[in-house]
């Protein structure tokens, strides 16, 4: 039996709900706790507005008001369709936790003392990170195996922010491609041991939203495969070299426009 705790960015995160729903159905896996970061935190808001600017307002609308179903109208694989296919019955993690009697905690920050105390009491073997800011060493040290994260880019080449856009901007759709990478978290940014990578075919994608919609579906599968792999002791780890890859940051709007043109150029003949 492997004990798992899920860290989520918001109570109605569709990504987190899908992962929790399926983990609950797996043999020899105990969903031992769910920790949700509260959206109502001034320090977090100021930090994210400094980093994301007006993009933060879109995130609030997409995840908080629409219930994180922003890809539902995109004609491709997406989380909303996956939820329908799986007949996901829960509109929130709180309701899922109540139905299955899973310990549930809301915190202002995943690194908060309340979170640390809760996690030490639950004593998970493995934690699954589905979003919610940086994780500090006090939390990283708690699970005996580690914390799983799924990054929407190919590691080690593309670490950090906006890597879908940077892949297109640098003309690497053919050479490296769009994909998601499952890895264990460490104190760096996307620098922990790589466990599994999924590369998608972008087809004739006309927007980064379409790419991200496909990637989010892959991320759910990778997370579940990772937990199963540790349960079955079949997973392998590939250490990232300190000098491998590059860390990317939030893309300037003008560069993003260039990236959009590059995306269309690189996918139009597919």
Identify the pLDDT of residue 42: 65
pLDDT beneath 70: ranges in the chain: 41-76, 269-270
Whole-angstrom distance, CA of residue 266 vs CA of residue 204: 9
Q: How far apart are CA 120 and CA 35, in angstroms?
A: 13
CATH code 3.40.50.12230 for 2-267: yes
Q: What is the pLDDT of residue 40?
A: 75
Secondary structure of 135-201 in HEC code, one letter for each residue: CCHHHHCCCCCEEEEEECCCCCCEEECCHHHHHHHCCCCCCCCCEEEEEECCCCCCCCCEEEEEECC
pLDDT for residue 71: 41
> What's the confidence (pLDDT) of residue 200?
95
pLDDT at 72: 43
Identify the CA nearest to 81 among candidates 204, 256, 234, 217: 217
pTM: 0.89
Q: Is 100 left (phi over 0), alpha (psi -120 to 50) or beta?
A: alpha
CB atoms closer than 10 angstroms to residue 203: 12
* Sequence ranges of the domains in the chain: 2-267
Nearest to 220 by CA among 165, 182, 163, 183: 182
Specify the pLDDT at position 144: 98
pLDDT number for residue 270? 60
User: 46-56: string of b/e by CB count within 10 Å (b at 16+)?
Assistant: eebeeeeeeee
CA distance 71 to 210: 8
**Quick one: DSSP state of residue 243?**
T
What are the structure tokens assigned to 139, written together? 């939390």
């Amino acid at each position: 039996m492997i004990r798992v705790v899920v860290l989520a960015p918001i109570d109605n995160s569709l990504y987190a709900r899908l992962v929790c729903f399926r983990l609950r159905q797996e043999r020899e896996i105990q969903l031992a706790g769910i920790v949700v970061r509260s959206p109502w935190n001034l320090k977090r808001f100021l930090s994210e507005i400094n980093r994301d600017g007006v993009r933060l307002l879109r995130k609030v609308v997409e995840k908080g008001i629409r219930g994180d179903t922003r890809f539902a109208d995109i004609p491709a694989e997406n989380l909303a369709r996956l939820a329908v296919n799986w007949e996901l019955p829960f509109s929130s993690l709180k309701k899922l936790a109540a139905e299955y009697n899973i310990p549930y905690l809301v915190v202002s920050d995943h690194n908060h003392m309340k979170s640390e105390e809760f996690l030490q009491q639950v004593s998970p073997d493995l934690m699954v990170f589905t979003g919610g800011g940086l994780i500090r060493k006090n939390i990283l040290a708690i699970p005996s195996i580690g914390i799983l994260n799924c990054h929407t880019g190919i590691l080690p080449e593309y670490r950090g922010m906006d890597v879908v856009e940077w892949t297109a901007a640098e003309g690497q759709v053919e050479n490296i491609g769009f994909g998601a990478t499952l890895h264990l978290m460490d104190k760096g940014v996307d620098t922990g041991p790589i466990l599994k990578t999924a590369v998608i075919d972008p087809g004739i994608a006309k927007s980064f939203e379409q790419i991200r919609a496909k990637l989010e579906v892959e991320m759910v599968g990778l997370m579940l495969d990772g937990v199963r792999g540790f349960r079955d002791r079949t997973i392998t780890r590939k250490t990232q070299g300190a000098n491998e890859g590059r860390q990317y940051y939030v893309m300037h709007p003008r560069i993003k426009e260039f990236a959009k043109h590059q995306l269309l150029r690189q996918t139009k003949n597919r």
